[in-house]
Structure 1
Amino acid sequence: MVERKERAQARAKATANAPGPTEIRSHLVRTELLKASVWLGLALLIGACIVLVQPILLIFAAIVMASMLDGGTRLLGRVLPIARGWRLLIVCLTLLAFMIWTMMFAGSQIADQAATLQKVVMSQVERLAGWASDHGMGNLQLDTKTISDNFAGTFGRVTAAVGSVVGAFTSVVMILILGIFIAIEPRLYERGVAWMLPMKNREDFYITTARMGFTLRRLMAGRLLGMLVEGIGTWLACLAVGVPMAALMGLLTGLLAFIPNIGAIVSGALLILVGFSAGTDVGLWAIVIYFIVQTVDGYLIVPMVAKQTVDLAPALVLGAQILFGALLGIMGLFLADPIVAMIKVALEREAERNAAGVKRKTTADT
């Protein structure tokens, strides 16, 4: 009886320790399933990025905004030794005051000029198309809808988040709010991301993010300086020579200066078309203004900024703008330069790590 009971207990114990129907004993099967799960997870991650591309771009734009606010706070700290929170508040209030001033005092004038800009540009384009037709270059039929459709097709899809005036305003507000929150305590979010990484990778993560922050602050400082110089310079020069809609031309030139290469081409084309609408002499002066402003920005401001930040080749930036513009729309076009700069910093840091590892291995072997 006792033996029978012991045998039953042994069978029960063996059954409890036996593999279940869901346990995979084969090492090969387990390895292949692990590989398949990795590829499936990667595919799901890529799909999620495609679906959530617009929110991701808005978050990155908020990081860019936070870098500008943080850079202004650090710059203000050199002349005003007060707490960081007060300096950030001064920077935010200055930005708010500038936006209110633009809408209240310059808004009416710019709105009136913007109402006539489309008519002036379209009339000049029609004259140019007529001249081309007269010289045997084909019959060009251009209207506002055709140009806008071609423009949107050139720079890829524009999603609903930024596809309307309300959507664009909402996106700008979200970028400002997120940027302010990130600029208030950037270390908090940095530590949160580092907490999700393995312990051995956290030190390298902090070094990489510090370099990215430094590069992004300097890059945006140079961009803001270029926008200020081009905008004010174009406005004053247009006033001096009598180019119509001088305030609007200065505003558009300054805003488009945020986009290297393409922004200068678009602003230059608009400036020249508006200049020739007032006469040949004014149009020639508009060409001179464009080349002077772009020369100052290209040979003084850009080299000065490039020495302090990551030096990006113009062809690389233009190629990234075309790629991101086609894939991600207007937001991708605006953020192509910062994205490329961050990727380059990360690759340079990875190259340093690899070089340090090779050097340590060589030293250990000798």
Structure 2
Amino acid sequence: MGDETTHIEQAGPTELRDPLVRTEIKRAAVWIGMTLAVLAVIVLAQPLLLILGGLVFASILDGGTRLLGRVLPIGRGWRLAIVTLAAVAFIVGTIWLAGVQLSGQAAAFSATVTAQANSMLAWAGTHGFTPGEVQMDQIGQQLMGGLGRLTSAVSSALGAITSLFMIMIIGLFIAVEPRLYERGVAWMLPLRSRDRFYRTTSRMGYTLRRLMAGRLIGMAVEGVGTWFLLWLGGVPMAALLGLLTGILAFLPNIGAIISGVLIILVGFSAGVDAGLWAIAVYVIVQMVDGYLIVPYVARKTVDLAPALVLGAQLLFGALFGILGLALADPIIAMAKAALQQNADERSGGKAAAEP
């Protein structure tokens, strides 16, 4: 027999004790997890947006409860009940006013806007600005297609009411006991990260409350101001235009454009003088909102660049439909607040956020 040499066995590729195999498995798990997370966001986009909408509504209720506490020294539960009843009454009253009291105006409004838009398109076609004969319904279909897919939850009036109801319920549950849900999320984090999480959520909540307060003020100013000035100038359907302007003011940039087009079209349907007055009203209302309300809100919250907000609206609207368009601004504001808090802590200072 020949000399026997000692042979040391090496770990094979299926041996999990091999450090190389463990490292590769960890890398693969990270990539698989990221892929599954992206797929989950795509598949669960609608429920996630409803939850985000609930957070926005909860911030409105919480902000109103805190504000009411400055003038009414009663328990938080009673203050929250008063604010909730007022919010529900406002939403139900708005739906009732738009659906019942203004139903006749709404039918005439749709016909007026369509007729005026078709007249403008016909004029543009005769002067070579548009190719061929283009009708308003064709442009509407293209805009809706460009806006993105509207999911089944918001594609009908029943779906929209259901989504609004779910957002209100989620927001109410969160507003009743926000610390409970905050601690629940923090429980899933490592102990060393929980203090930073609490500081970040505090700053995000502070920012969102101020943003929503400014947004509600802007909606009220634009809605009431538009209605009063249009009524003063004899523009038809002033109440309906004021209501639509106030609702669309929740969508910065895009809402102002849509409401301006509607106001001008209805104004010119009553004559040149009414049309010019409608243009003046739109300019005055937007100047008040743009030079007084928006800068004040920006100083109290975060300074969001208009191009950033508009880009986020277009992106979220294309990806997630109407809800994505409506929630783009709050999402960007919360993301920026979280990034600023992280940057402050990394630089050595912990920014103070009001609890």
Question: TM-score if structure 1 supplies the norm length?
Answer: 0.89
- CA 29–265 in structure 1, closer or farther in 2 if over 3 Å, else same: same
Residue 259 (structure 2) pairs with residue 267 (structure 1): yes
Distance 2:62 2:304 in 1: 23
1:225 aligns with 2:217: yes
Structure 2: segments with no counterpart, 5+ residues: 1-10, 350-355
Judge conservation of contact 1:231–1:251 (CA < 8 Å) in 2: yes
Structure-2 residue corresponding to 1:296:
288
Residue 99 of structure 1 pairs with residue 91 of structure 2? yes
Q: Which residue of 2 aligns with 1:7?
A: none
State yes or no: 1:334 paired with 2:336: no
1:203-238 Cα deviation digits (max 9, x unpaired) = 000000000000000000000000000000001111
Letter in 1 for 2:24: E
The aligned residue for residue 212 of structure 1 is: 204
How far did 1:151 drift?
2.1
Alignment check: 8 A CA contact 1:76 1:87 kept:
yes
1:24 aligns with 2:20: no
- Asked if 1 retains the 8 angstrom alpha-carbon contact of 2:106 and 2:240, the reply is yes
- C-alpha change, 1:130 and 1:106, in structure 2 (3 Å) is closer
* Cα deviation digits, residues 115-145 of structure 1 (max 9, x gap): 1111111111111112112223345434454
In the TM superposition, residue 287 of structure 1 has moved relative to its aligned partner by 0.1
Indicate the residue corresponding to 1:63 in structure 2: 55
Q: Which among 292, 297, 304 is matched to residue 305 of structure 1? A: 297
C-alpha change, 1:102 and 1:319, in structure 2 (3 Å) is closer
1:140–1:111 Cα change, 3 Å: farther
One-letter amino acid of the structure 2 residue matched with residue 318 of structure 1: L
> 1:185: which partner in 2?
177
Are 2:166 and 1:174 equivalent residues in the alignment?
yes
Cα displacement (A) at 1:106: 6.0
Instruction: Summarize deviations over 1:318-339 as a string: whole Å, max 9, x none.
Output: 1111111112211111111111
CA distance in 2, matches of 1:196, 1:47: 22
**Given the alignment, which residue of 302, 306, 318 partners 1:314?**
306
The residue matched to 2:250 in structure 1 has which SS? coil
2:347 & 2:333 partners in 1: Cα distance? 21
Amino acid at match of 1:166: L
Aligned-partner Cα distance in 2 for 1:134–1:47: 49
**DSSP-derived class of the 1:249 partner:** helix
1 or 2, which has the higher helix percentage?
Answer: 1
Residue of structure 2 aligned with 1:355, choices 342, 347, 350: 347
Match for residue 243 of structure 1? Answer: 235
1:135 to 119, 122, 127: 127
Contact 1:241 1:282 in 2 (8 A): yes
Q: In the alignment, is the contact (CA less than 8 A) between 1:325 and 1:331 conserved in 2?
A: yes
Residue 280 (structure 1) aligned to one of 267, 272, 282: 272
Per-residue deviation, residues 249-294 of structure 1 (Å, max 9, x unmatched): 0011001100111110100000000000000000000000000000
Aligned residues: 339
| Map of 2:69 onto structure 1 | 77
Residue pair 1:155, 1:333 contacting (<8 A) in 2 also: no
Rg larger in structure = 1
Alignment deviations for residues 31-65 of structure 1 (CA, whole Å, 9 cap, x no partner): 11111111111111111111001110110010000
Gaps of 5+ in 1: 1-18, 358-366
Secondary structure in 2 matching 1:189: helix
Aligned runs of 1:30-69 on 2, under 5 Å? Answer: 30-69=22-61
Q: Do 1:129 and 1:140's aligned partners in 2 also have CA atoms closer than 8 Å?
A: no
Partner of 2:3: none
The 1:31/1:100 distance shift into structure 2, 3 A limit, reads closer
Residue aligned with 2:347, SS: helix
In the aligned structure 1, how far is the partner of 2:161 from the partner of 2:141? Answer: 22
For 1:169 and 1:144, the matched residues in 2 are separated by 27
2:4 corresponding residue in structure 1? none
The SS at the match of 1:356 is coil
What do the CA deviations read for 1:81-105 (whole angstroms, capped 9, x no partner)?
A: 0000000100111122223434555
Indicate if the aligned counterparts of 1:227 and 1:255 stay in contact, CA closer than 8 A. Answer: yes
1:353 to partner: Cα distance: 2.2
C-alpha root-mean-square deviation of aligned residues, in Å? 1.8
